[in-house]
A and B are shown apart, each in its own frame.
Chain A
Amino acid sequence: MRRMPVLSLALLVLLTACAKWGLIEPKPQVVENRLQVNPSIAFARIVFPAPRDRLQMWTVDGPNLNQMLVLPELGHRMALLAEPSGADRANPTYPLFRSTMAEPEIMELIADTLSIAFQKVPIATTNLQPTTFAGQPGFRFDFTFSSRQDLDYRGTFIGGVDNGTLAGVMLIATAIHHYDTLRPELERLASTARRIRSTS
């Protein structure tokens, strides 16, 4: 997983023609000044044109095969993904996070956001468990879905709410191969996660 095959890179560039990408090196990374994680492998980071999603997208083999999504901080009444331009503010496309949400509701929020983003496919969630994230009580869950192109995906979210804001890491990858390969890295990102308080 360390090297990035040339073919995958070409594919990545083709798929993300209007996005830029950068390199995430295997060393402690501070994401948007809010969350520190320590990857053990290199990722390509895909930067979409504004408006920016709250989720940062990293990938090893291209976003159709795997996405490591890092959520540095999501505040009250914010959505995980940016509204498409020209969207109606009164009818937001993606559900809004509320700091009062219970864990099962945050799971619904994340699953429904993905469902809408992946062309309204149903997403099955399982295994919602309490856990520790960034030194605080958190939660995790697994999910599966098939894309409209009939590729089967598996995923896991690990995160938590602290001070009324949600942070976490999430893996979405093909069920046949990439999920199992990248799962240990997701666990590593989660176990090294540290939230950074704003000092201002």
Chain B
Amino acid sequence: MTSLFSRRGFLGGGCALCAATLAGCQTTGEALGRLAPGARPVAGGDVASLWESADREERRVRQSRHIIRTPEVTSYISGLVEQLAGPYAKDIRVYIVRTPEFNAGMYPNGMMQVWTGLMLRCANEAQLAAVLGHEIGHYIEQHTVANFRSIRSATDIATFVGMGLAVAAGPGAAVLAQLAIIAAAFSFSRDQEREADAIGLDLIARNGYAPLAAAQVWERMIAERAAEERDRARGEDIFFATHPSSAERAQTLTALAGGRTGEFHTDRYRQALGGLQLTLVEDELRLRRFRRSEWLFERLHADGANPGLMLFARAEVNRLRDFPGDQTRAAEFYRQATAQPGTPPEAWRGLGLIERKRDRQADASAAFRRYLDLKPDAGDRDLIRSYL
């Protein structure tokens, strides 16, 4: 089943700050220099197929069911991009893609994708702005176009391979080879990432944000990955050992920030996300990456983000994982969550499930009743009622 449905999307690994992909083997295109604002680069010519693919992808994305269309959220994000992109604002269109991964991507035709997993992970507006600025940097320096060109000219081997495959496996293979070239155009070199980092940092600083936010996004991502790998490496932080470039990048960004200060806009960020935050939390929980999720929610909770929701999230991680001690911790977090504003009714459901498992029937029933009161149309109401 997996294999049938896991065709990689056009964006594939995406770009943003993607540590793992930095490990060499990309072809760096010769720098093309800055794009002029408003200039729609020559359609046709040697990059024609890149444009066609990007435009086709954008038509698909525009119709997609996986795009967040909440007007308050979309206008907020578009507003941020507009402010950061300045003279390029009119050339960039932003789409919020509901995917629980830390990513954003910039297509050469001006389509920007912001994934919801990135929005969940940013602690404030400044951090998100740093990533958006980085993506704008790739766009105005035309990195994708440069890479595409160099791949094409360096290897018409790709075409050759494509033809060979086409003979062996039918016409679909040629399309796949073409897609592979395009995907490779999105693998940025270390120099290109550095350039985009510098532009991003410059853009946020010019717009009054704290420049340090750029390094912070990166440090958080490193810490989250490290949390996932901690056990595997028996206590050693193997993420740092295997991804020196990530740590180096965070250091460079910190140095670039210098002592400059600015705004983080933490409250404004959380307010703008509003009800979407619950969706982002639920999508993260679905992945059952317990160590990463646990680290993330603990961190967001410590940041002061929406305590009712974060306590609920931490409880859910413990309940779903169900390792020794997790039930007790889950019950404790649920109890704290239900005493806070901003907690979803599902906190009562979770508490009921835990107490039922711990043979505390009265507590379980009370929690389930509260859940059904708060969410009378819940999808599991009939079965929950059978527990009362």
Contact = CB atoms under 8 A, between A and B. Distances in A.
Interface of A: 14-16, 18-19, 48, 53, 55, 57, 63-64, 67, 69, 81, 84, 88, 90-92, 94-95, 98, 100, 102-105, 107-108, 111-112, 115-130, 139, 141, 146-150, 152
A4 to B, nearest CB: 18
A120 B386 contact: no
A143 B50 CA distance: 38
B382 A130 contact: yes
A150 B64 contact: yes
Contacts of B282: 122
Contact of A91 (B3, B289, B322): B289
A165 B354 CA distance: 20
Contact of A53 (B1, B9, B66, B286): B1
Nearest to A139: B383
Contacts of B380: 103-104, 107, 125, 128, 141
Contact of B286 (A88, A104, A116): A116
B97 to A, nearest CB: 10
Contacts of A129: 382-383
Interface string B339-362: 000000000010001001100000
Contacts of B320: 95, 108
B357 A121 contact: no
Contacts of B1: 53, 55, 57, 63, 67, 69, 81, 117
A117 B386 contact: no
Contacts of A126: 379
B386 A125 contact: no
A102 B353 contact: yes
A125 B383 contact: no
26 contacts: A14-B170, A14-B172, A19-B3, A53-B1, A81-B1, A88-B232, A90-B232, A91-B232, A91-B291, A95-B288, A95-B320, A98-B322, A105-B353, A111-B286, A116-B286, A116-B287, A116-B288, A117-B6, A120-B100, A124-B379, A127-B379, A130-B383, A130-B386, A146-B66, A148-B9, A150-B63
Interface string B1-35: 11111110100000000000000000000000000
B101 interface: yes
B52 interface: no
A138 B382 CA distance: 13
A29 B376 CA distance: 41
Contacts of A100: 357
Contacts, number: 108
B184 interface: no
Nearest to A123: B286
Given A90-B232, A117-B5, A128-B383, 20 more contacts: A57-B1, A81-B1, A102-B357, A103-B383, A105-B353, A108-B320, A112-B287, A115-B287, A116-B286, A119-B6, A125-B380, A128-B379, A130-B382, A130-B383, A139-B383, A141-B379, A150-B60, A150-B63, A150-B64, A150-B65
A91 to B, nearest CB: 6
Given A63-B1, A81-B1, A130-B386, A102 B9 contact: no
A161 to B, nearest CB: 13
Contact of B356 (A57, A88, A102): A102
Contacts of A119: 5-6, 9
B99 interface: yes
B98 interface: yes
A83 to B, nearest CB: 10
B183 interface: no
Interface in B81-139: 98-101
B237 interface: no
Interface string B354-388: 00110000000000000000000001101110110
B228 interface: yes
